């Protein structure tokens, strides 16, 4: 007789966890200090504040008035930070419907519809519909999915990046795709890099 209420409680806890939300914090620009809710989907791994501070110090002279693409937006940590720092436009692509809807809600909360566009789609499908060449591209795909090579190929195939474009790449440090030893090596110059715990952060320029 005791097993039934235990089962019900467990079910309630599971349902609560599935709708749980977290937060990200914008650390610079016009929305500095604002906290935004994020959908707590499995595998969501927002860039930490400490690493984000490093990345945007690297990009200090490049974000303003740039057209930005966030290929795997997730929580929107990078894309919204760029928008806060006066990027001209930010396009966020996110496959997960609930996460994308939360991004759209955050755009509304910030009254940022003129600057941030959220596309709910698989990156490899969405990239074929884009008509813009971007000045800055964030690639922060799910870890351990081996998506970096195919992502960069898609960017070139669809003429999304061109000479002078900057590309930030965040991936697992212990099994990272070595861009400078790849088929794309001659098309990039490594500008900055840092290892932060289990994360590799690199900034490249298309040559």
pLDDT computed for residue 101 by the predictor: 96
Task: Please state the φ and ψ torsions of residue 60, each to the nearest 5 degrees.
Answer: -50, -40
Give, in order, the Cα–Cα distances in Å from 171 to each of 8, 28, 162, 174: 40, 23, 22, 9
Q: Tens digit of pLDDT for each residue in 46-73?
A: 788 899 999 999 999 999 999 999 999 9
Q: What is the pTM of this model?
A: 0.87
**Residue of 82 and 175 predicted with greater confidence:** 82
pLDDT computed for residue 46 by the predictor: 75
| Nearest Cα to Cα of residue 170 among 138, 145, 144 | 138
Q: Is 80:108 a contact under the CB 8 Å cutoff?
A: no
Whether the CA torsion 154, 92, 203, 161 is positive or negative: it is positive
**Residue of 2 and 80 predicted with greater confidence:** 80
Task: Name the strands in the sheet holding 199-206, side by side, starting at the edge strand that comes first in the sequence.
Answer: 116-120, 89-94, 67-70, 136-139, 166-172, 199-206, 188-196
């Amino acid at each position: 007789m005791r097993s039934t209420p235990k089962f019900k409680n467990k079910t309630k806890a599971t349902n609560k966890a599935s709708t749980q939300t977290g937060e990200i914090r914008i650390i610079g620009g016009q929305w500095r200090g604002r906290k935004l809710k994020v959908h707590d989907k499995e595998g969501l791994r927002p860039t930490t504040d400490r690493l984000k501070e490093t990345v945007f110090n690297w990009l200090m002279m490049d974000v303003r008035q740039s057209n930005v693409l966030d290929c795997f937006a997730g929580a929107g940590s990078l894309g919204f930070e760029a928008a806060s720092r006066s990027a001209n436009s930010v396009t966020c692509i996110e496959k997960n419907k609930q996460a994308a809807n939360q991004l759209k809600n955050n755009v509304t909360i910030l009254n940022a519809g003129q600057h941030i566009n959220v596309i709910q789609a698989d990156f490899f499908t969405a990239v074929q519909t884009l008509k813009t060449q971007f000045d800055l591209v964030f690639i922060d795909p799910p870890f351990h999915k081996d998506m970096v090579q195919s992502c960069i190929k898609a960017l070139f195939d669809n003429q999304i990046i061109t000479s002078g474009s900057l590309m930030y790449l965040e991936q697992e440090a212990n099994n990272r795709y070595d861009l400078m030893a790849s088929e794309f090596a001659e098309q990039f110059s490594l500008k900055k890099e840092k290892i932060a715990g289990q994360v590799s952060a690199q900034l490249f320029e298309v040559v």
